[in-house]
């Protein structure tokens, strides 16, 4: 991965904020970050860009398709790298963890359903809400 080249190729100018924010997305184990997450991570390393700057850069990256913006229920938008590969999400309503999945059967069924209605499917988002294995196991642990 070449951050500088990626930004340049998108037509945006390479700035310190853009460079550092894109680096964060490549380095972060939690691939789905809110603007606030990004702001906090920058703040933790004493790179204080300000929330307005962070948000502006995120939206610029979405516009040039470097990032994808996901709007999950009851939570601020989550941004992730645009890998160009379709996937769906599971969202933990307790801790906010986001996990990705792809299920060929679900994908096929969605196309079949759309086709049956004469609906030309262009894209879809599928989000499952519930408790992740960490939060779910806490709940079911016997007292």
Among 21, 38, 60, 80, binds Zn ion (CB under 5 A): 80
Instruction: Determine, following the binding rule CB under 5 A, whether residue 3 of this chain makes contact with Zn ion.
Output: no
Q: Which is nearer to Zn ion, 33 or 42 (CB)?
A: 33
> Is 25 a residue that touches Zn ion (CB under 5 A)?
no
CA distances from 112 to 56, 86, 115 (A): 39, 17, 5
Which residue stretch of 45-53, 79-87, 105-113, 122-130 sits at the interface with Zn ion (rule: CB under 5 A)?
79-87
Q: Does 124 bind Zn ion (CB under 5 A)?
A: no
Coil vs helix vs strand at 89: strand
CB 33, CB 25: distance < 8 Å = yes
Question: How many other CB atoms are there within 10 angstroms of residue 54's CB atom?
Answer: 23
Which regions of 31-97 does DSSP assign to beta strands (E)? 67-70, 78-81, 88-92
In the list 51, 52, 95, 113, the residue contacting Zn ion (rule: CB under 5 A) is 95
Decide if residue 78 touches Zn ion (CB under 5 A): no
CA dihedral (11, 32, 24, 1) positive or negative: negative
Size of the site for Zn ion (CB under 5 A): 8
Instruction: For Zn ion, give the closer residue by CB, 3 or 135.
Output: 135
Q: Smallest distance from the beta carbon of 77 to Zn ion, in angstroms? A: 12
Sign of the four-CA dihedral 112, 101, 10, 5: negative
| Residues binding Zn ion (CB under 5 A) | 80, 92, 94-95, 97, 100, 132, 135
């Amino acid at each position: 991965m070449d951050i500088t080249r990626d930004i340049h190729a998108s037509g945006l100018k390479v700035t310190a904020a853009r460079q550092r924010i894109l680096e964060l997305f490549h380095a972060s184990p939690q691939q789905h970050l809110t603007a606030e997450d990004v702001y906090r991570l920058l703040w933790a390393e004493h790179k204080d860009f300000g929330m307005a700057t962070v948000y502006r850069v995120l939206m610029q990256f979405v516009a040039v398709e470097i990032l994808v913006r996901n709007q999950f229920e009851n939570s601020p938008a989550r941004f992730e790298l645009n890998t160009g590969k379709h996937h769906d999400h599971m969202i933990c309503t307790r801790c906010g963890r986001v996990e990705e999945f792809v299920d060929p059967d679900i994908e096929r069924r969605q196309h079949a359903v759309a086709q049956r209605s004469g609906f030309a499917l262009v894209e879809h988002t599928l989000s499952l809400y519930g408790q992740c294995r960490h939060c779910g196991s806490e709940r079911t642990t016997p007292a």
